[in-house]
Structure 1
Amino acid sequence: MSLFDQWCETTVQENGQKQYLTIVEKPDGRGTIIDQLAETVRAHYDDLQRIADDVDELGYDGAAGILRELLPTGVRARAGDLGEILASELTAERLEFAVPVRRMRFKDGREVPMRGDDFIGVNYAADDGGLWLLKGEAKSRRTLGKTTITQAREALRRDDGRCTPSSLLFVANRLLEGDDEQAVLGRLIRNEVGRKALDKSRIDHALFTMSGNGPIDALLVDYNSAEAGRGHAVINLHIDDYDDFISEVFDAAGDLGDS
């Protein structure tokens, strides 16, 4: 069972190519998945095999010390990173797109947000016309309101609704460094940056929000007014104890235990 299925209850509202997901924790959901979620967070910042190698070389304390140097400590940086991580995981679980590059591994400072599109999803099937992309924005707020939602929607509309070229090239170049299958996909994405050949109907948009408040009227308004002609996912993950949750996740991620 997937992370979100174990952890949360999800309500889905659909209208044509649009879907609105409201996600709330099950009463015992967090306790069920906290270890899995901690490992997921670690994997977004570093390769799990590399962490295991650190344990072999340095022991659990030494390996945890390295890992904690990668994890943000500031409240704002933690919230922003966790929103992007959870958006990426939900995209793979529910929206039928892979998120092939884990951006947190490439940050140039643990408290510094990365620029460009927050997450990019990729779906490729030769028998379905080839490449399909998802442009995503993730917002994490203790109290989410209209202004933040409007800013996220404006970001999705930039570049005529296409993925930001620099963000696409970042993904493409990381894939070109991988195995043969990844390199083929990386080449296709670089071609898209050069040709801008994808129809808007093959570039979906996703707005993922994590908040301490909910339900959020402005988010439903955004969903209802999203432009026609492309797929849209508007998502809210409501966490009542928003601040405590973020601290709990990062504390668990930085603790490798002793076995």
Structure 2
Amino acid sequence: MPLFDEWCECDVSENDRKRLLRYTEREGGRAGIAGRLPDLVRSHYDDMNRIAEDVAALGYAGAAALLAERLPRTARARSGELGEIFASELVEQALGFTIPVRRLRYKDGREMALRGDDFIGIRLDADGGLALMKGEAKSRANLASRTITDARAALSRDGGRPTATSLLFVADRLMEGDGEGAQLGRTIRNEVANRAVPANRIDHALFTMSGNATPQALAEDLQAAGTDRYQTVIHLRIEDHQEFIRVTYEGALALGNG
């Protein structure tokens, strides 16, 4: 079963091209998915086959030491990056787009935030037409209106299009391989050059995770958003937000203890 379906209840409000998804934990839902979270988090920082090779070559302690060099230590960095991880997973599970590159694998510093769009979703329709999703992810113990306003401003920049730098990053990673991935990378590079994808094929998504209930400001933000594209706003409520993040990262680092 998809992670969020097993873990959470989802209340959906839709109006024309706008939808608000409110996720709250089911009773016993967290216990049901707890065993899946360590590998989920690890997979966003490194290839799971490579981690297995590290275990074979270095043992669990050595492999864990390598993994620890990739994972953030500060509560702030962990909060932001777990928000990006959950946003990417939810986009793929519920919104009909793929996130073809796990960008946290390419950070140049453990505590350094990556620049550019927080996540970019890709979809190729039956006719080969490209559709994009530009996304922002915010994680706060208490989600306030200022954070929502800042996220919306980021979505609106560059005419609402994913930044060229972010798209090229995805395309370049895809073209390091071959086959369908390389072909998709070529398609994305062509889009950067031609800017041919119209606004109505570039969705916007704002993912938020916090300890407080869904703020009214999120509904107001969605109501004020433009109607020239599909707009999705998501809120995941984790009441013990900071403790949950700490336990999740400690679990990811505990190689061989599960």
Provide the TM-score with structure 1 as the length reference.
0.98
Matches of 2:38 and 2:192, distance apart in 1 = 35
How far apart are residue 111 of structure 1 and its match? 0.5
State the partner residue of 1:95.
95
Does residue 150 of structure 2 align to residue 187 of structure 1?
A: no
State the partner residue of 1:165.
164
Matches within 5 A, 1:81-230: 81-127=81-127, 130-230=129-229
Matches of 1:220 and 1:241, distance apart in 2 = 23
SS of 1:158 mapped into structure 2: helix
How far apart are residue 66 of structure 1 and its match? 1.0
State the partner residue of 2:71.
71
Aligned partner of 2:200: which letter? S
Matches within 5 A, 1:240-251: 240-251=239-250
Matches of 1:97 and 1:226, distance apart in 2 = 21
SS of 1:252 mapped into structure 2: helix
Q: Deviations over 1:191-221 (max 9, x none)?
A: 1111111110000000000011112110010
Matches of 2:257 and 2:56, distance apart in 1 = 12
Matches of 1:89 and 1:258, distance apart in 2 = 24
CA contact (8 A) 1:144 1:211 kept: yes
Q: How many residues align?
A: 258
Matches of 1:6 and 1:242, distance apart in 2 = 19
How far apart are residue 258 of structure 1 and its match? 5.0
SS of 2:155 mapped into structure 1: helix
Q: Deviations over 1:103-159 (max 9, x none)?
A: 1100000101000000000001242x5100000000011111111100000100000
Matches of 1:107 and 1:140, distance apart in 2 = 19
State the partner residue of 1:60.
60
RMSD (Å) for aligned C-alpha atoms? 1.0
Aligned partner of 1:125: which letter? D
CA contact (8 A) 1:38 1:253 kept: yes
State the partner residue of 1:45.
45
Matches of 1:190 and 1:28, distance apart in 2 = 45
SS of 2:138 mapped into structure 1: strand
State the partner residue of 1:17.
17
CA contact (8 A) 1:171 1:186 kept: yes
CA contact (8 A) 1:35 1:252 kept: no
Structure 1 portions without partners, runs of 5+:
none
- Aligned-residue identity in percent: 56
Structure 2 portions without partners, runs of 5+:
none
SS of 2:137 mapped into structure 1: strand
How far apart are residue 34 of structure 1 and its match? 1.5
Matches within 5 A, 1:20-35: 20-35=20-35
Aligned partner of 2:90: which letter? L
Matches of 1:89 and 1:145, distance apart in 2 = 24
Runs of 4+ in structure 1 deviating by more than 2 angstroms, as ranges, are: none
Matches of 1:258 and 1:16, distance apart in 2 = 48
SS of 1:148 mapped into structure 2: helix
